[in-house]
Chains A and B, each alone.
Chain A
């Protein structure tokens, strides 16, 4: 187990190194001078030169790359010229909101996906199963921002059940804030539950065909016991796999949905950074979000061994 963990951690470092290289390349393939692009068309040559020097863009590319890697390894992601503060500080300020939204959406996606997937597998071929499959495929075909906007219109504006947008007054407490996150979490969570339903259903169908499930039934266990205690326990690994995959979808959904609901999170930061070409913020956000994804998937791999004692590393 220890040697496996060490190997996995080393692999993670390699992947993050490549991620950082990709991020560097993306920010440096820009046609033209990023400093000039950032300052806009009415900047003087002196302004541009000053910004170039400040961003270290006048150094040779290899040196810039090494500096970037070393800084990133020290969690120094540079300065945002537009925000006039460090990228780490800007991300840290907005991360809690995005994290809450993602966790809430994940809870919703899993809360819908797993039970529905199990039921749909148990009632395989029934009207219920077909309806669930059709509904989940439809949900997966809807853009999360569109779901968000329709929810705002029908649930918030017309019925007034939940707040339309924003994140409440600055002094609002956690519980009050949570109300602002319900609709965004639905917009992000529902489309992502589709994949979880599908994987859970397939995983359960595989397990339900096993001999030991038939044995459990034959010895007279109640159907509920067979499903919960025998079948689902072994389908958990496929559920875990899909949850690992879904993290990317959830984070991506959160980025777009924050814009719809005017939530001041990381997603909103990224979108405004892209629209005004704030490259240090874009770089930093790419690194942090992919880092989260890699970490979650490391956790998922380690959890396999906890859930399934047959898995040995």
Chain B
């Protein structure tokens, strides 16, 4: 509470802060969120820079040093083909993050359109919401794996399948917020001035959905990474030899007793990334919604 009271007057005299600057400042004030952002930055740099930063190529075999424990040569050990675990984790990050990001973007776009239309054009609401109800009756992984059976096994197919899984969640959030917004006076005023449905949705409702969608997008990012890992683990995701965190764990299963680092390294990568995303999501929600702050 005191934060909210003190925050505004301190921030105001410095500079007319942009909403994004203000948001960032509120976010980094919490140490855990700051730490999470740092972790995500590191994972992001590893992912983007894997071709240059990784000590070895992810598929380079070194049979003389197979299943070697962490050492100066292989910081995180090597697998049964002598491939470097660190390099594979970095390339895995590349795949997981790019997959997660594409899923977030795709499901945000589709879900937002569906949600706004459903919330604003009431004739379509019943049908669209029953469809999201039905889609949400499937556990994430079940719907994803069934779609993978129908689609194929490439990164593109994984993205499509997961976007399909997470679109209803975005639609729900967008619809809920739209229902509140459409009763507000500025929307009513705009309608009274003769604005078309499309104009109201695009210029008045959409801009006000950005905060809830940003929060939801972060959580979907985390969930998508977990589901993608499960798909790869089950052999229904991006196929080997491309390293993903999930298929690394699947392959490490049989060497668990001899080489536990093989299973620990990708598992910790998943956990750190997902945890950081959830922390940032929580931080964003608190920063954007002052009402929620008292509960945390």
Give A contacts to B, CB under 8 Å: 14-16, 18-19, 22-23, 26-27, 29-31, 137-138, 140-146, 149-150, 152-153, 157, 202, 205-206, 248-249, 251-252, 255-256, 259, 270-271, 273-275, 277, 279, 282, 285-286, 289-290, 293-294
CB of B4 closer than 8 Å to a CB of A: no
Cross-chain pairs A/B with CB under 8 angstroms, 16 sampled? A18-B130, A19-B134, A140-B274, A141-B275, A143-B233, A145-B249, A146-B249, A152-B256, A206-B295, A249-B139, A252-B139, A270-B145, A273-B149, A282-B146, A290-B137, A293-B139
Q: What 7 pairs between A and B have smallest CB-CB spacing?
A: A252-B139, A18-B134, A141-B274, A141-B275, A290-B137, A146-B267, A274-B149
Whether the pair A248, B270 counts as a contact (CB closer than 8 A) is no
With beta carbons under 8 angstroms apart, the residue of B142, B267, B275, B278 that contacts A286 is B142
Report B180 CB to chain A, min CB distance, Å. Answer: 20
Residues in B neighbouring A282, C-beta threshold 8 A: 146, 149
Q: Is B263 an interface residue (CB 8 A)?
A: yes
The answer for the CA separation of A279 and B272 in the assembled complex, in Å, is 36
- A144 to B267 alpha-carbon distance, docked (Å): 10
**Interface with A: B7-15, B79-87, B195-203, B222-230, which one?**
B222-230
Report the bound CA distance from A294 to B133 in whole Å.
9
Question: Roughly how many angstroms separate A303 CA and B141 CA in the complex, as a whole number?
Answer: 28
A143 and B270 contacting across the interface, CB-CB below 8 Å: yes
Residues of A within 8 A of B145 (CB): 255, 270-271, 274
**Smallest Cβ distance from A136 to chain B, in angstroms?**
11
The answer for the CA separation of A146 and B274 in the assembled complex, in Å, is: 14
Cβ contacts under 8 Å, A16 to chain B: 134
Task: Note all chain B residues with C-beta closer than 8 A to A293.
Answer: 137-139
Q: How many angstroms from the CA of A217 to the CA of B133 in the assembled complex?
A: 42
Q: Is B236 an interface residue (CB 8 A)?
A: yes
Chain B CB count within 10 A is highest, among A149, A249, A293, for: A149
Report if A15-B233 is in contact (Cβ < 8 Å); known contacts: A252-B140, A270-B142, A286-B146.
no
The docked-state distance in angstroms from the alpha carbon of A144 to that of B139 is: 14
B235 within 8 A of A: yes
Inside 8 A of A138's CB, which chain B residues have their CB? 271, 275
Q: Does B147 contact A (CB under 8 A)?
A: yes
Q: Which of B214-265 contact A (CB under 8 A)?
A: 222, 226, 229-230, 233-236, 246, 249, 253, 256-257, 260, 263-264
Instruction: Flag whether B170 is at the interface (Cβ < 8 A).
Output: no
Known contacts A141-B275, A153-B260, A252-B140; A15/B236 CB under 8 A: no
B279 at interface by CB-CB < 8 Å: yes
Residue contact A274 to B236, C-beta cutoff 8 Å? yes
Q: How far is the CA of A279 from the CA of B230 in the complex (A)?
A: 20
Decide yes or no whether B61 CB sits under 8 A from chain A: no
Best-buried of A27, A145, A293, A294 by chain B (most CB within 10 Å) = A145
Q: Is the CB of A27 within 8 A of B150?
A: yes
In the complex, A271→B260 CA distance in Å?
Answer: 25
**Chain A interface, >50% SS class:** helix
Within the complex, what minimum Cβ distance (angstroms) separates B257 from chain A?
6
Q: Which residue of chain B has the shortest Cβ distance to A14 in the bound complex?
A: B130
Q: How far is the CA of A141 from the CA of B279 in the complex (A)?
A: 10
- Chain B residue with the shortest CB-CB distance to A276: B149
Whether A157 contacts B257 in the complex (CB less than 8 A), given A14-B130, A286-B146, comes out as yes
Q: Which of B134, B230, B236, B278 contacts A290 (CB 8 A)?
A: B134
| Partner among A19, A248, A271 whose Cβ is within 8 Å of the Cβ of B140 | A248
Over the window 27-60 of chain B, the binary record of Cβ atoms lying under 8 Å from chain A Cβ atoms (1 yes, 0 no) is: 0000000000000000000000000000000000
Chain A residue numbers with a CB within 8 Å of B113 are none
Q: Decide: B149 and A146 in contact? CB cutoff 8 A.
A: no
Task: Say whether B146 contacts A137, CB under 8 Å.
Answer: no
Contact A142 B271 (CB under 8 A): yes
- Kindly name the residue among A146, A153, A255 whose own CB sees the greatest number of chain B CB atoms within 10 A: A146
Alpha-carbon distance between A249 and B139 when the two chains are bound, in angstroms: 6
Do residues B150 and A19 form an inter-chain contact, with CB atoms below 8 A? Answer: no
Q: Would you call A259 and B234 a contact (CB within 8 A)?
A: yes
Give Cα A146 to B134, complex, Å: 29
Task: Kindly state the separation between the CA atoms of A27 and B146 in the bound complex, as whole angstroms.
Answer: 8
Nearest CB of B to A139, in Å? 9
- Point out which of A16, A19, A31, A143 has the most chain B C-beta atoms below 10 A from its C-beta: A143
When the two chains form the complex, which single residue of B130, B135, B143, B230 contacts A143, counting CB atoms closer than 8 Å?
Answer: B230
Q: How far is the CA of A146 from the CA of B269 in the complex (A)?
A: 12
Q: In the complex, what residues of A have CB within 8 A of residue B290's CB?
A: none
Q: Mark B94-132, 1 if CB is under 8 A from A, else 0.
A: 000000000000000000000000000000000000110
Q: Which residues of A contact B151 (CB under 8 A)?
A: 29
> Residue B209 at the A interface, CB < 8 A?
no
Which residue of B is nearest A206, CB measured?
B295
| Residues of A with C-beta under 8 A to B267 | 142-143, 146, 150
Given contacts A26-B150, A144-B230, could you give 19 more A-B pairs where the C-beta distance is less than 8 Å? A16-B134, A19-B134, A19-B137, A22-B131, A22-B134, A22-B135, A29-B150, A31-B152, A141-B270, A143-B246, A143-B270, A251-B139, A270-B142, A270-B145, A274-B148, A274-B234, A285-B142, A286-B138, A293-B138
